[in-house]
Each structure stands twice: as structure tokens, then as C-alpha cells.
Structure 1
Amino acid sequence: MNISLIKQMIARIKGDTGISIIKGNTTAPRPSPPYGVYNITSPYIKGRGRGSITQFTQDDKAYEKRTAEYKMIISFTFFGKDVETTIELATRVHDWFLFLGESFILENNLSVRQVGNVQDRTTFLVEHYEYKHGFDVQIAATQEQVREIQEAIENINLGG
């Protein structure tokens, strides 16, 4: 999984929507609302099979490359001082995955497999509500591994 690519995507969402989104599950202080939080809840969901294996040469050396597809799930939650704000923020980022972010997604060899419904995630905290709405998005990506093919001995004369 390419964490730097996820960070670039979050930065692009902020640039395109104007919504501040921070990494979740950290001890860093949170900004005052409104803002969003993202968590990579499933960083690697294996695809079928082992992937495809191809061989190629470069600079007189032989290589083998394995290419496989995997999926990841990113959960987004948006916080605000009222329900209307959280719905608006969640919907704008939801729409980014459905349309506005298409060029970023394609340029980075990703594909959006599923964008979940925007749902109420409000919680009651002792004496007040923490208003939040969110959704999950499933993204498909590819993983490549390359190794050099070592020369093999084809025939051995054992004498006799």
C-alpha cells in the first residue's frame, strides 16, 4: 500500500473541496469543527490468485515482474457543530469520489470500486452530542514487485 499516495489524495480532496481532513486514530489535538477524519480501516484486501508474472530484459539483465490488484477501504467521518454541516461536508467529499476526483484517481492508476452511503455517526457524550456523518470508500490499486532473474546452470556433466 502506498501511504504517500493516500496523503496526496487527501491533500487533493482538501484542495478541491476546501474541507480540512486529518488522519484519525492519533493523539494529536483535533482542530475545532468543522473538519473531517480519515482512517484506513482495511489497508490490504487481497485479490484473487497470485497476480500476473511477466519477464523482461533491461540493460542486458533479465527481470521478473509480479503485478497484482488489491483493494483498500478508507473510512471518512466529518465533524461539525450541527447535523446540517456534517451532512454537507460528507456529501461534498462523497461526490469527490463519484465525480470531481476522477482525474486524480485515473492519473494514479487507482479505481473507486464502491462508495458507501453517507450515514449518521453522531454520538452522545455525557452532556452533549458530537455531530458527525461519514461513509466508507473502497479503492482498488495495483502492486508491483520486480526481481532480477539469476542465471541458472542448464547442464551439469557429472562424469561417467
Structure 2
Amino acid sequence: MNIATIKEMIAQIKKDTGLQIIKGNTINPAPPLPYGVYNITSPYIKGRGQGAVVEYIEDDTAFQKRIEQYKYTISFSFYAEDVETTMEKAFQVHQWFLFLGQEFIEEKNIAIAMLGNIEDRTTFLVEHYEYKHGFDVQFRATNEQIRQLSEFIETINLGGL
């Protein structure tokens, strides 16, 4: 998971929709309504298998590269003074993932694995309601790890033919 890519995506959503989206679970004061909140609820969901391992030589140095695909989930919630506005803002960003943001997402070498339904997340707080609607997005990404091999054998003669 690349935090910088997620921050760039949030900035791009704001640029394209005009809606401010802040990181959730912080002690910072909330911006004026309406606004959105994002939380990385599952930072690493393991893919199938162990990933692919390849060895290669570059400038007479041997390397080993491991490539794996994994998923991560981001949850979005949108707050406003009334339930209609929360639905509207959630729908606006949901549509960004379906269409407006496709080019940005592809450029960042990630893919949407699942785009959840918009759900009512309104809560009752002591004497009033906190109106919110939201959805989850699951992304598929690739991780590469490279290490230099200390020793390698170029050829082995096993005899015979």
C-alpha cells in the first residue's frame, strides 16, 4: 500500500468534485459541513499464493525480485446538515470512482477490485443525529521487493550429453 498514492487520490477527488475529504480517526477539528472522511480499514489483504520470484542479472550483479498482488480497503463517509446532502456527496464521489477517476487510478497502477454500495451510516448522538452516508472501495495493487544475491552460479556442467 502506498500512502502517497492514497493522498494524491484524495487530492484529485477534491480537485474534481470540490468536496473536502479528510483523514479519519484524528484529533484535528472537523472542517465546515459538508465534508468527507476516509479511513484505511484494511491496509493489506493477502492475495493467493506466495507471489512470483524471478532472478536476473544486471551489470554482472545478480538480483532476486518478488512480485505479489494484494488488496486494501478504504472506507469513505460523508457528513452534512441533512441526509439528502450526505447521499448526494456520497453519490458524487462514488461516481468519481466509476468514471471521472478511472484515468488517475490507472496511471497510479492500481485497480478497483470492488466498489461497495452507498449505505446510510447515520448515528444518533445524545440529542441529535449525525447524518452520514458512505461506501467502501477495495483496491488491487502490486508490490515488488528486490534484493541483491551475494553469490550466484552462471552455469553448471552436470556431465553427460
- The interval holding the TM-score normalised by the smaller chain is over 0.9
TM-score calculated relative to the size of structure 1 = 0.93
Q: Structure 2: how far apart are the matches of 1:42 and 1:84?
A: 29
Kindly indicate whether residue 23 of structure 2 is the aligned counterpart of residue 10 of structure 1: no
Amino acid at match of 1:93: V
Shift in Å at residue 41 of structure 1?
0.2
Q: Structure 1: how far apart are the matches of 2:43 and 2:98?
A: 21
Q: Structure 2: how far apart are the matches of 1:52 and 1:12?
A: 32
Q: What residue is the counterpart of 2:55 in the other structure?
A: 55
Q: Residues 144-155 of structure 1 correspond to what in structure 2 (within 5 A)?
A: 144-152=144-152
Q: Structure 2: how far apart are the matches of 1:22 and 1:145?
A: 31
Q: Moved runs in structure 1, 4+ residues, more than 4 A?
A: 152-155
> Which ranges in structure 1 are unaligned for 5 or more consecutive residues?
156-160
Calculate the aligned-residue CA RMSD, in Å.
1.4
Shift in Å at residue 152 of structure 1?
4.5
Q: Structure 2: how far apart are the matches of 1:7 and 1:126?
A: 34
Q: What residue is the counterpart of 2:93 in the other structure?
A: 93
Q: Structure 2: how far apart are the matches of 1:56 and 1:120?
A: 51
Amino acid at match of 2:111: S
Note if contact 2:62-2:152 (Cα within 8 Å) is conserved in structure 1. no
Shift in Å at residue 57 of structure 1?
2.0
1:59-103 per-residue CA deviation (whole Å, 9 max, x = no partner) reads 221111101000001000000000111001000110111111100
- Alpha-carbon distance change, 33 to 18 in structure 1, aligned in 2, over 3 angstroms: same
What percent of counterpart residues are identical? 62
Note if contact 2:122-2:133 (Cα within 8 Å) is conserved in structure 1. yes
Q: What residue is the counterpart of 2:159 in the other structure?
A: none
What secondary structure, in the 3-state scheme, does the structure 2 residue paired with 1:15 have? helix
Q: What residue is the counterpart of 2:26 in the other structure?
A: 26
User: Alignment length, in residue pairs?
Assistant: 155
Shift in Å at residue 119 of structure 1?
0.5
Q: Structure 2: how far apart are the matches of 1:143 and 1:22?
A: 26
Q: Structure 2: how far apart are the matches of 1:16 and 1:66?
A: 36
What secondary structure, in the 3-state scheme, does the structure 2 residue paired with 1:29 have? coil
Amino acid at match of 1:78: F
Kindly indicate whether residue 140 of structure 2 is the aligned counterpart of residue 123 of structure 1: no
1:117-145 per-residue CA deviation (whole Å, 9 max, x = no partner) reads 00111111111111100000100000000
Q: Structure 2: how far apart are the matches of 1:56 and 1:9?
A: 34
Q: Structure 2: how far apart are the matches of 1:98 and 1:149?
A: 43
Q: Structure 1: how far apart are the matches of 2:119 and 2:68?
A: 32
Q: Structure 1: how far apart are the matches of 2:131 and 2:32?
A: 13
